[in-house]
């Protein structure tokens, strides 16, 4: 059985696993987006304790490996609460990404020139209007490409959830390799699946960037 | 109107908001204004009045606080002490009050500060709609007539990034004018421009002055000061070193400080 025959034969179980990977990553990223926006708002606030709290959270999460966070949540807390594998994975991946997303959002807002805010304010626009009309749209344009690459990292990092036993793409590859004694073909196949997901995601982000970047011409 | 005689501040404010105050009445007043950044004194105890339709040019060595003074007039900088009155209303830093006053004080910046994600027309229309509550058609019509006035009708749908510096600054002037300001503040409006683009911006400003716009302008363009200013104010050593008609201040300065500054200028 060559690579292509194997690819075809195992397509149904890999496609099913792709669905698990995609839904895991999607749930994690929605959660990460909401939490990350909240942490970014705290980091940019004028209230010092909120800033410290945000900085502490970001430092702690970015300073420790995702797999340690995942194992802490799933195995570490198992004496108190046994989480569903999917949800444990989604929460760990979500919290991990929220710290990065918070930093991306914060730096996006900081990239908006102060002069533009002053121009809006000097026209009589309120803080809220200025945020909505000037800061947010421009920050979003700066954030989008960086956010896109963070999403790509998240898709690939979701493979770590295999190690708590969730049958997503990578776990499926491990099982297949063990059953067929064909690690080379199997890990090549699973790589093709990840690559396909990443390529589609990249295309979507590029398209959004292009649409938002019309004014740069 | 007997009411307005009893309450002159109120009448000045009404006319300010209606946009038809009389010539000779002062529209901007600084009374004993001091500005410090931390312990550093930028200027102290400054008194300055700007009359309706008057063009006041602020000159002085860099770092003397000309721009800071201008930015205090519309509250972009908070003053440390003293009082600023614009059209009878004392500037306070209450946000609602500040937004209302700012909507009638036009400001043009050295770095243009056009909104890069909006077309030229949108740049001029956005605050008309958001702040003055004008309808879409009215705001766009106003934008187009102002673009014609600054000679940029053909750029109505362009984005700022595709315009030259001089064109951007003319759009920025149109954006400020769209609010029907009672006074226009210019903060070194030509300093970021290539020399060959300075003229087109100064021409628009000169037209404005001739049409009776009240203007406060920080600039290094001495020819503009000479031709357009009603009064030149030299800011140096934490305050107003000398002021008067342009030919007096620029050609026959009385104070040593002014003589020194002007001799430095002519050396270059």
The per-residue pLDDT for B17 is 47
Q: Do B103 and A124 touch (CB under 8 A)?
A: yes
pLDDT one-digit tens code per residue, A149-206: 999 999 999 999 999 999 999 999 999 999 999 999 999 999 999 999 999 999 999 9
- Between CA B173 and CA A144 the distance in angstroms is 32
| pLDDT tens column, A25-51 | 999 999 999 999 999 999 999 999 999
| CB-CB neighbours of A86 under 10 Å | 17
The DSSP letter of residue A153 is H
pLDDT digits (tens, 9 = 90+) for B86-99: 988 899 999 999 99
Tell whether B161 is within 8 A of chain A (Cβ).
Answer: yes
Give how far the C-alpha of residue B240 lies from the chain's centroid of Cα atoms, to the nearest Å.
18
Distance (Å, rounded) from C-alpha B267 to C-alpha B249? 17
> Count of alpha carbons within 13 Å of A136, Cβ hemisphere only?
9
Give B65-113 pLDDT, tens digit per residue. 999 999 999 999 999 999 999 988 899 999 999 999 999 999 999 999 9
How is residue B137 written in tokens? 């058609």
| Residue carrying the six token digits 């030509």 | B190
Residue B1 has pLDDT above 90, yes or no: no
Segment among A75-84, A118-127, A129-138, B146-155 with least mean pLDDT = A75-84
| Residue in A118, A127, A129 nearest the CB of B130 | A129
Question: For position B168, what pLDDT does the model report?
Answer: 97
Distance CA B192, CA B164 (A): 11
- Round to whole Å and give the CA distance between A39 and A23: 24
Share of chain A above pLDDT 70, in %: 98
Which chain B residue has the Cα nearest residue A129?
A: B130
Q: Show the tokens assigned to B41.
A: 């004194």
Choose among A123, A137, A217: nearest Cβ to B117.
A137
> So what's the pLDDT on residue A215?
63
Q: Coil, helix or strand for A166?
A: coil
Query: What residues of A are in contact with residue B130 (Cβ under 8 Å)?
Result: 125, 129, 133
Nearest to B99 among A115, A126, A215 (CB): A126
pLDDT at B25: 80
Answer whether 0.90 is exceeded by the pTM: no
Give the pLDDT mean for A14-28: 96
Whole-number Å distance between alpha carbons of B77 and B140: 31
List, as ranges, residues 116-135 from B with C-beta within 8 Å of A.
116-119, 126-127, 130-131
Domains of chain B: 53-65+94-267 (3.40.50.300)
């Amino acid at each position: 059985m060559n690579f292509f025959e194997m690819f075809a034969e195992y397509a149904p179980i890999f496609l099913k696993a792709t669905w698990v990977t995609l839904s895991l990553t999607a749930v994690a990223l929605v959660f990460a987006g909401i939490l990350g926006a909240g942490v970014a708002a705290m980091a940019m606030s004028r209230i010092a304790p909120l800033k410290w709290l945000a900085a502490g959270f970001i430092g702690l999460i970015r300073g420790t490996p995702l797999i340690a966070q995942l194992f802490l949540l799933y195995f570490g807390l198992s004496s108190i609460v046994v989480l569903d594998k999917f949800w444990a994975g989604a929460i760990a991946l979500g919290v991990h990404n929220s710290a990065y997303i918070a930093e991306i959002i914060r730096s996006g807002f900081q990239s908006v020139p102060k002069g533009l805010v002053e121009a809006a304010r000097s026209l009589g626009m309120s803080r809220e209007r200025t945020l909505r009309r000037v800061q947010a749209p421009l920050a979003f344009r700066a954030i989008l490409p960086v956010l896109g690459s963070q999403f790509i990292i998240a898709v690939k990092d979701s493979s770590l959830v295999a190690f708590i036993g969730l049958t997503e793409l990578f776990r499926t590859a491990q099982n297949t390799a063990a059953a067929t004694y064909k690690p080379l073909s199997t890990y090549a196949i699973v790589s093709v699946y990840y690559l396909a997901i990443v390529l589609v995601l990249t295309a979507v982000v590029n398209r959004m960037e292009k649409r938002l970047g019309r004014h740069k011409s | 109107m007997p009411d307005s005689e009893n309450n002159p501040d109120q009448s000045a404010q009404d006319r300010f908001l209606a946009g038809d105050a009389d010539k000779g009445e002062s529209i901007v007043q600084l009374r004993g204004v001091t500005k410090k950044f931390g312990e550093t004194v930028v200027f102290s105890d400054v008194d300055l009045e700007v009359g309706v339709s008057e063009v006041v040019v602020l000159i002085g060595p860099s770092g003397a606080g000309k721009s800071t003074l201008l930015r205090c007039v519309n509250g972009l900088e908070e003053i440390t002490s003293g009082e600023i009155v614009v059209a009878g209303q004392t500037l306070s830093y209450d946000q609602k009050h500040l937004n209302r006053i700012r909507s009638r004080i036009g400001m043009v910046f050295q770095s243009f500060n056009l909104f890069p994600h909006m077309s030229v027309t949108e740049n001029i229309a956005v605050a008309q709609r958001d702040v003055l509550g004008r309808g879409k058609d009215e705001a766009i019509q106003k934008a187009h007539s102002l673009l014609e006035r600054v000679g940029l009708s053909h750029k109505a749908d362009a984005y700022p990034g595709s315009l030259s510096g001089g064109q951007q600054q003319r759009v920025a002037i149109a954006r400020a004018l769209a609010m029907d300001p009672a006074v226009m503040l210019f903060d070194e409006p030509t300093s970021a421009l290539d020399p060959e683009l300075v003229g087109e911006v100064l021409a628009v400003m000169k037209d404005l002055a001739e049409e009776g716009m009240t203007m406060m302008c920080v600039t290094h363009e001495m020819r503009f000061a000479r031709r357009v200013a009603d009064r030149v104010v030299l800011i140096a050593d934490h305050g107003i070193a000398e002021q008067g008609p342009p030919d007096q201040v620029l050609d026959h300065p009385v104070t040593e400080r002014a003589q020194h500054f002007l001799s430095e200028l002519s050396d270059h």
